[in-house]
Amino acid sequence: MANPTQNPTIGQLAADLAAGRTTSRQLTEEALARIEDPKGEGKRAFVKVWKAQALAAAEASDVQRKAGLVLSPLAGIPVSIKNLCDVAGETTLAGSTALDDAKPAKADAPVVARLRAAGAVIVGSTNMSEFAFSGVGFNPHYGTPGNPADRKRVPGGSSSGAAVSVADRMAVAALGTDTGGSVRIPAAVCGLTGFKPTARRVPIDGVVPLSTSLDSIGPLANSVEDCAIVDAVFAGEPISVPAAAPLSGLRFAIPKHFVMDELDPVVVVAFERACKALSAKGVKIEQIDLVELNELPDTNAKGGFAASEAYAWHKDLIARRHNDYDQLVAPRILRGKDMSAADYIELLGKRADLQRRVSAITANYDAVIMPTCAIVAPTLDEVSTSDGFTKKNMLLLRNTTVGNFLDRCGISLPCHAAGELPVGFMLMGEAMADKRVLAMARSVAPVVSAH
C-alpha cells in the first residue's frame, strides 16, 4: 500500500539536485524503473512511456545544472502528462482507441511546451477515463490502474493514471485536467493534493476538449507548494509560492445543501475532524444556506455543457467509430445530440445567473469548504455494472462539479488518518482567487492532515 504523504516534494528534490545529492538521471531512472516494474501499476497507469526521450532530457538537465543553468524549480524533475495533451509527433489518443488513426500532433500543447521550457522531464502519458468523461477512472481499453490505498479500488477520474503516477512515485507531479472534478477527485481518493485553477488562467489549446466552457488544467502533486509551482508553469506566470495565510480569523463556509447529502461515514468522520482542528486554530467555520446549489441537477438535466460541447466535437468520430468507444462513455456524449441551440443558450444564461447569486453570498467568506467527494474510492466490483457505475460516478463528481459550473478555483487536500481510506478536504475560492486559495491551503493542509 503506497503512502503518498511520505513522497518527496519538488522542493526537497530541487534542494537535493542543487546540493549534488542526486541527479536528474538518477531520479528519472528510478521513476522509469517503477513504471516498468511488472508488480506495479505502470502498465495500467501509462498509455505511453517515453524512456529514451526522458533519459536524454535528464542528462541534458544535469549538464545544464553543472554549467549553472537551472531553468526552474522543476528542472530535472520527472513529471507525467495526461493522455489528452498533444505531443509533437505523437497521436493523441485521449484514453480511447477511436483516435488511433488520427494524424500525429504537429506541435506540443502550450502546457506541455511550458513544462519542457521549465526543464521538467516528461516520462510519459498517463491513462485516463476515455475522453475524460467520468469521475471513476475506469478504462476498458488500457486497463484501470489500482488505487494506491487499496488496489481493488478505482483511482478516481478522469485523471486516473496521473494520480497513480504521483502516488506510486513514477512521477513527482502530474498534469491533469478538471472539467467536473477530474484533478480533485483522483487526488482526493488517492491521498494527494490536486489544484483546479480558474479555467481561463491556463490555455487548453492542443488538449482534446471535453467541455470548452468547463475544462481546466491543473496539477496533482505531493504538497500545496508543489501545486503552486506547477500551476505557475501551466499558467505561464513567474514561479512563486504564495506565503502561507495566517489561519486565525479566516472565515470558511460549509453549504448546508447539496454537497453534504449522502456522505459516506468515513468521509463524515474525516471532514468533521478536519473542521474541529481548524476551529481550534482560530478559523471561523459557519454552516450557510446555499439552496441555490439545489438548482444544479435541474439546470444540467439535459446533459449540460459536457454533453452538448462533447457531442459537437465527437459527432463525426462517434458516427464512424461508435463501436470502439467505452460503452459507459458513448451514451453520455450522445445525450448532447438531443440538446437544441435554444437549450444551450438557456444554459449559458442560467450559469451566469447562478454565478452571480452564489457569489453574492460566498464573497463574504475566505473560502467555501466541503468534502471533495461524498464517498471513498469505490471497489472495481462496485462499478462493474452500468447501474453501479452511474451511481458511484454521480457521487464522486457531485461536489467538485459545483466549482466548474461556478467558474471557481479549488484545491483538494488529504484529510484522512493513517489506516483510513483517503478522503479529500476541499477549499473553493472565488473566480481568479487562485493565489489566495493556495496561500490558505498552505496553512490548512498541515492542520487537516491527520497523519
Q: Where do runs of H (alpha helix) occur along 262-329?
A: 265-280, 296-299, 304-321
Catalytic residues: 82, 158, 182
C-alpha–C-alpha distance, residues 429 and 250, integer Å: 13
* Grid cell in block for residue 259: 454537497
In whole angstroms, what is the distance from residue 352 CA to residue 1 CA?
44
d(CA 172, CA 400): 24
Please count the other Cβ atoms lying within 10 Å of the Cβ belonging to residue 451: 13
Do the Cβ atoms of 382 and 392 come closer than 8 Å? yes
**Closest to 150 measured CA to CA, from 182, 189, 183, 181:** 189
- Could you tell me how far CA 430 lies from the centroid of its own chain? 18
Does the bond joining 158 to the residue before it have cis omega, within 30 degrees of 0? yes
169 and 45 Cβ atoms separated by less than 8 Å: no
Helix (H, G, I), strand (E, B) or coil at 328: coil
d(CA 45, CA 143): 8
Q: Phi/psi zone of residue 43: left (φ > 0), alpha (ψ -120 to 50 degrees), beta?
A: alpha
Q: Which residues pair with 385 in a beta bridge?
A: none
Q: How far apart are CA 322 and CA 327, in angstroms?
A: 9
Identity of the amino acid at 434: D
User: With DSSP H G I counted as helix, E B as strand and the rest as coil, what are the percentages for the chain, rounded to 5?
Assistant: 45, 15, 40
Within 8 A by CB and 6+ apart from 8, the residues are 16, 172, 222
Q: Tell me the torsion sign for CA atoms 100, 106, 109, 112.
A: positive
CA distance 227 to 411: 9
Report which residue type is found at 247: L
Distance CA 21, CA 154 (A): 36
Cα 266 to Cα 181, 189, 420: the distances in Å are 20, 12, 8
Q: Compute how many other C-beta atoms are within 10 angstroms of the C-beta atom of residue 316.
A: 8
